[in-house]
Structure 1
Amino acid sequence: MKEYFLKLYRYNAWSNKRVMDTLVRQDVRDEKIMSIMGHIVAAQYLWLHRIKGLPAAKVKLWGDYKLEQLVQMADDVGKLWLEFVESTDNFNRELTYRNYTNDPYTNNVENIMIHLVNHSSYHRAQVALLLRQKGFEPINTDFITYDRVITGQWKE
């Protein structure tokens, strides 16, 4: 599973970076787009802290983030996830936690990690739609595009 998760979290970091680079390049400051990207990044921090048994991350799940903050946060959390995956050998364990509304749950860490990447993809798609609706050009973050890039079949 380690190789699978390394692949997923490399893809996730790549996708977030592509979106952030696109937002910077087009100087996108739209409040709804910033809110969704902030939600993606904050969720990645929150889940990582839960899984590692750390105190709750000091982020707001639906915060008021500025583009410059998000660029740095996305880069940092992408690196933190990869460090966690690289340093962990067993993801097949149960995690009992409380969600952001303090409801108790127990889930398998593998399932949480798969969920988190899917959650990020879902919200990046919302950002792509909003970008197009607001006259900006979205960026392709499909997994197959990532695979083509890292295998040298497609140049960015």
Structure 2
Amino acid sequence: MKVFFNELFDYNFYCNKKIIDECVKLGKAPEKSQELFSHILNAHHIWNSRILGKPSEYDVWQKHDIKDWSDIHYENQRNSFEITTNADEFDKRIDYENSKGRLFTNTLQDMLFHIINHSTAHRGQILTDFRNNGVDPIVMDYIFYKR
């Protein structure tokens, strides 16, 4: 399971890095894309914090300056690898509060997979926003990453 999640987080890191690089290259990324990518970073941070039992430093829709994305992204990745490396039981249940203060319990495996899946969904929205703003979308299919 550790190898599986490490590979997924590598892929997630690769895709997010491509978006960061493209937005830096553009100089001024589309506003909606900036909001969505900040949200990806925030959600990843929030889920890592829940798993680690630490308070979150970010709000769900807090917007970050593009110049800060790489540092936040790297820290998210580092924390996710720490989690997967130190995990003994991926079916361990973790209690947490959502952003509205409601209590939930999910397995570590479910929470880690959610981080990946959530990021993928919003990257798709970003690529649609790119296209709608005349920016060629980036190829980020998993199979291309593996080639």
TM-score (norm 1): 0.88
Do the aligned residues in 2 keep the contact of 1:42 with 1:61 (CA within 8 Å)?
Answer: yes
Alignment of 1:24-103 (within 5 A): 24-55=24-55, 57-103=56-102
User: What is the Cα deviation at residue 109 of structure 1?
Assistant: 1.1
Unaligned 5+ segments in structure 2 are: none
Matched, 1:141 2:140: yes
TM-score (norm 2): 0.93
Give the Cα separation in 2 of the matches to 1:83 and 1:25. Answer: 31
User: What is the Cα deviation at residue 140 of structure 1?
Assistant: 1.4
Could you tell me which residue of structure 1 aligns to residue 9 of structure 2? Answer: 9
Secondary structure of the residue aligned to 1:79 is helix
Amino-acid identity (%): 29
Do the aligned residues in 2 keep the contact of 1:2 with 1:89 (CA within 8 Å)?
Answer: no
Paired amino acid for 2:13: A
Paired amino acid for 2:8: L
Unaligned 5+ segments in structure 1 are: 149-156
User: What is the Cα deviation at residue 44 of structure 1?
Assistant: 0.5
Give the Cα separation in 1 of the matches to 2:43 and 2:3. Answer: 22
Could you tell me which residue of structure 1 aligns to residue 103 of structure 2? Answer: 104
Give the Cα separation in 1 of the matches to 2:70 and 2:130. Answer: 17
Paired residues, number: 147
Instruction: Decide which moves more: 76-85 or 95-104.
Output: 76-85
User: What is the Cα deviation at residue 76 of structure 1?
Assistant: 2.1
Secondary structure of the residue aligned to 1:105 is strand
Do the aligned residues in 1 keep the contact of 2:51 with 2:94 (CA within 8 Å)?
Answer: yes
